[in-house]
Amino acid sequence: MGKVKFLTVLLFSTLSSIAFAEDITGTWKNIDDKTGSSKAILEIRQEADQSYTAKIIKVTPRPGYTPKEICIKCPAPYTNKPILGMDVLKGLKHAEGSNYNKAKIIDPLTGNIYSMKAKLSNNGKRLTLRGYVGVSALGRSQTWIRNDYFFSDSLII
């Protein structure tokens, strides 16, 4: 009887970890690939068409850097829009397993728009994004760290 109970618990915990690993909704802290510091807190939500969108919900202060408030060099419809609250990632679709693709992402500091794909870590706590123009091999990667513990009653934006 003990073996059956153990196997049942093992099965349910495995299934729940698989379900969690595929869920990318929530808040994430991005880590810049050049500086190693965070630039923003982003919230990923799932749209009605099952794609994912991410918006900036907090700009992270960094020593010696005054954050930009407006997307000046960005193409329409982003031109002169506030960076805080901006949807910077759109159209991310689940491909298979922990892989996602077919997205567009904008860098609000440069105004550049990139094609993007992503891979979720096995434990569901890191999302590695690869932005590129044309060929993925010529792009840049950035890591987002799950940050669902960011909010407290006084910090909700």
Nearest to 122 by CA among 102, 146, 89, 105: 146
* pLDDT tens column, 104-139: 999 998 999 999 999 999 999 999 999 999 988 889
Q: Which helix (H) or strand (E) holds 94?
A: strand 87-96
What is the pLDDT at residue 149? 57
pLDDT in tens, 59-96: 987 777 777 899 989 999 999 999 999 999 999 999 99
Tokens for 80? Answer: 């002169």
The overall longest dimension of the chain from CA atoms, in Å, is 66
User: Is pLDDT above 90 for 34?
Assistant: no
Average pLDDT over residues 15-41: 77
Pair of tokens at residue 92: 């991310």
User: 42 near 27, Cβ under 8 Å?
Assistant: yes
**pLDDT confidence of residue 113:** 95
Does 152 have pLDDT greater than 80?
A: no
Mean pLDDT of 6-22: 44
Of all residues in the chain, the percent with pLDDT exceeding 70 is 80
CA atoms within 13 A on the CB side of 61: 2
> Which tokens sit at 29?
């802290």
Residue 4 has pLDDT above 80, yes or no: no
